[in-house]
Amino acid sequence: MMSSSPAVDVRDLCVVRGGREVLHRITFDVPRGAVVGLLGPSGCGKTTLMRALVGVQIVDSGTVTVLGDAAGSRGLRHRVGYATQTPAVYADLSVAENLRYFASVLRAPRSDVDRVVDEVGLGKQRDQVVSTLSGGQLNRVNLAVALLGTPELLVLDEPTVGLDPVLREELWELFRALADRGTTLIVSSHVMDEAGRTDRLLLMREGRVLADGAPEALRSRTGADDLEGAFLQLIKEHAGSPA
């Protein structure tokens, strides 16, 4: 049974970068065990928001609470997995060497290396040096690091970029299996056809959340045939509303 308290609780979050406000008083929460999609065009603030969730982004005002603690708290280090948009692994080490290193840092069982290699489909590349991998394979190594241990929350910044349709399907099946086991996932993307795989969607544009709801509810609300149409309709509504 899911806990009644949310996995993530964001209230009036503002972030200023370079003298410009890039997140504008964002408020939302995420229930435990849900797969939440964070969708919107490049540059809309998705990565900045995700950085705030894992506590590596300086915020101007507002609060971000994760698993009951302030985002970035020491106690969350082993409870939150984060896959950045730009892979953060060592190019001169093999896939397995990278994972063994990060497993030791995270104090995850050594057996986790074999598990996550299989989960992201890198069995054949296990002993390959990271610098020789393709872009899609590199993204999978980055995701594998985030899966080490038993994180209660996974924050994944565009984890399927550069992957072929078959692997994207396999990863979304993995995300659903993780959620079924109680893990909460926040997955960002700018690909609308991935949106329907989520339990809830946060649609972002220009640092604001335009809508928050189940995919089917957003389609019904806007009268659109698909989520791309729903997003475009929401943009029109937002443009016509007072600031």
Q: Which residue from 4, 7, 5 is spatially nearest to 179, judged by alpha carbons?
A: 7
pLDDT, mean over the chain? 90
pTM above 0.85, yes or no: yes
pLDDT digits (tens, 9 = 90+) for 3-33: 578 999 999 999 999 899 999 999 999 999 9
Radius of gyration of the chain (CA): 18
* pLDDT score at 1: 42
**Cβ-Cβ contacts under 8 Å for 52 (sequence gap 6 or more):** 10, 13, 15, 23, 59, 64, 71
Q: Report the chain's terminal Cα–Cα distance, integer Å.
A: 40
Position 181 pLDDT exceeds 70: yes
If you search the block for the tokens 């099946």, which residue do you land on? 173
Q: How far apart are CA 222 and CA 198, in angstroms?
A: 18
Q: Buried b / exposed e across 110-124, counting CB within 10 Å, b at 16+?
A: eebbeebbebbbbee
Report pLDDT for 167: 84
* Over residues 75-94, mean pLDDT: 92
CA distance 155 to 151: 10
If you average pLDDT over residues 159-167, what whole number do you get?
A: 84
169, 173, 175, 170: which is closest to 156 by C-alpha? 175
Is the pLDDT confidence value at 243 over 60?
A: no
